[in-house]
Amino acid sequence: MSQFALITGCGSGIGRALALEFASRGVRTIATARQPSALKELAELHKNIVPMDVDVQESESILALKKQVEQITGGHLHYLVNNAGIHYASTGTDIDTAKVQELFNVNVVAVMSMVREFAPLLIAAKGVIVQIGSVTRAVPAIWQGPYNATKAALSQYSKTLRLELEPFGVRVVEVVTGYVQSNILRNGLHAPSDSRYLPIKDHIETLKAQGNKTGMPAATYARRVANQVTRANPPHEFWDGGGAWVMFLIVSVLPSWLSQRIWRSYFKLDLLRARR
């Protein structure tokens, strides 16, 4: 019997790499993105890839996708990979609340909507839900507090969902992701002209650029993710991507006062203290 995977956010980066990886393993892979044009080339790269467009913020779009997926899979879905996400970089005192609402809609609410609609297909196949999370669920990366909050919310939701779906044979795996070469960090930092944080803006931009440049290649990350989630007994969560294990040690082993000192130095926050 063929296996089926549904992956969101396949227009570029991690999602694109995941679609190719699952397809290469013989999994019939339904690769989705908001813009169909982004999937045309992807579909030509492997016969197991089925491109479909969906706007995960729109309930009607998700329902239309569900009908198509039911027809293709016969009502059985083995993998739901919730990868679609957006990034918004702002300090807590400078946020645009409309941007924050959109951020939560895509990174959290849309995931919940996808799970709600595709749960019957996953239960039928005793499948796996793969949540592409982030180390920022635990790392207080400054200038992106709202984004960090979405990943913390996703993590707690995933823990609860794991318990709720366990009686029905569905596994939930959270991938706690470090730096991966992708387009999610391509947008700059939001900062009004009177922001208190302008003295360190260039430094934070440099950290973002370095992280993307030296991060794990998306294809390598996708292979490692697929290796974990296709196991007979996949882990509840695992940390992967550039710098993931270093950050795991900092947030999990060190006392909070020491980790706070490390982050303060890393982000050069003492420059702000000197200017107040």
Q: Could you read off the pLDDT of 103-149 as tens digits, one per residue?
A: 999 999 999 999 999 999 999 999 999 999 999 999 999 999 999 99
Check pLDDT > 70 for residue 274. no
pLDDT at 257 over 70: yes
Residues 77 and 122 sit within 8 Å (Cβ to Cβ): yes
Rounded Cα gap, residues 216 and 228, in angstroms: 16
| Residue type (1 letter), 130 | V
Which residue segment(s) compose the domain that 149 sits in? Answer: 4-275
pLDDT digits over 158-179, tens only? 999 999 999 999 999 999 999 9
SS3 177: strand
CATH number at residue 179: 3.40.50.720
Catalytic annotation, residues: 147, 151
Tally of domains within the chain: 1
- pTM above threshold 0.85: yes
What local confidence, expressed as pLDDT, does residue 213 receive? Answer: 86
- Sign for the pseudo-dihedral over CA of 111, 115, 117, 121: positive
pLDDT bucket at 211, cuts 50 / 70 / 90: confident
Average pLDDT, the chain: 95
Rounded to whole angstroms, how far apart are CA atoms 18 and 270? 40
pLDDT band at 95 (very low <50, low <70, confident <90, very high): very high
Helices then strands, counting H and E runs in the chain, come out as 11, 7
- pLDDT, position 45: 92
The pLDDT of residue 276:
58
HSE at residue 171, side-chain half, CA atoms within 13 A, is 18
Residue with tokens 């950050």: 247
Q: Structure tokens of 184?
A: 């999610």
Tokens of 67: 């009908």
